[in-house]
């Protein structure tokens, strides 16, 4: 399905009805990630907000936890067909790994700007002492 290659295939897209019943399943994905076969999304993510949003056909992106205390990002939106929803679920650690390179670039940028400011201060001090 769409977006299954994001986050190094650690996330999963799905189609679900308003009662949380999964319409699409990927047994290969479940086997690869050692997941139990789940028939209902609400059995994994037990939050009243999700159930309410599904009944009202409302989009959202939330942080949720499975009953096994694994943190997940869950995004969902109405499909406008048979009250179905399309969604994407990814473990928090997988979603955050994709952006760790930013910390490296932030450090380089801060060092570079610090050197420029230091050089400017030394130049101004040298110029004013003359």
**Predicted pLDDT at 87:** 84
- For residue 28, pLDDT beyond 80: no
Which residues make beta-bridge pairs with 75?
Answer: 61, 88
Q: Where are the domains of the chain?
A: 6-97, 99-130
Q: Are 77 and 57 in contact (CB under 8 A)?
A: no
Domain 6-97 maps to which CATH number in 3.30.360.10, 3.30.450.20, 3.30.2320.50, 3.90.1150.10? 3.30.450.20
* Per-residue pLDDT reduced to its tens digit, 52-107: 888 888 888 888 877 777 788 888 889 888 889 888 888 887 777 656 667 778 88
Q: Which is more confidently placed, 32 or 83?
A: 83
Long-range Cβ contact pairs of 83-87 (< 8 A, separation 24 or more): 83/17, 83/18, 83/57, 84/15, 84/16, 84/17, 84/18, 84/23, 85/15, 85/16, 85/17, 85/18, 85/54, 85/57, 86/13, 86/14, 86/15, 87/13, 87/14, 87/15, 87/16, 87/41
- For residue 124, pLDDT beyond 90: yes
């Amino acid at each position: 399905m769409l977006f299954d290659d994001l986050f190094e295939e650690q996330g999963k897209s799905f189609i679900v009805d308003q009662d949380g019943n999964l319409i699409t399943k990927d047994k290969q994905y479940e086997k690869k990630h050692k997941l139990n076969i789940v028939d209902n999304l609400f059995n994994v993510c037990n939050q009243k907000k999700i159930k309410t949003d599904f009944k009202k056909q409302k989009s959202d992106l939330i942080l949720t936890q499975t009953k096994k205390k694994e943190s997940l990002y869950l995004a969902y939106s109405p499909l406008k067909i048979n009250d179905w929803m399309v969604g994407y679920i990814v473990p928090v650690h997988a979603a955050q790994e994709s952006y760790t390179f930013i910390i490296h670039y932030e450090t380089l940028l801060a060092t570079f700007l610090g050197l420029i400011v230091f050089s400017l201060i030394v130049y101004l001090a040298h110029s004013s002492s003359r």
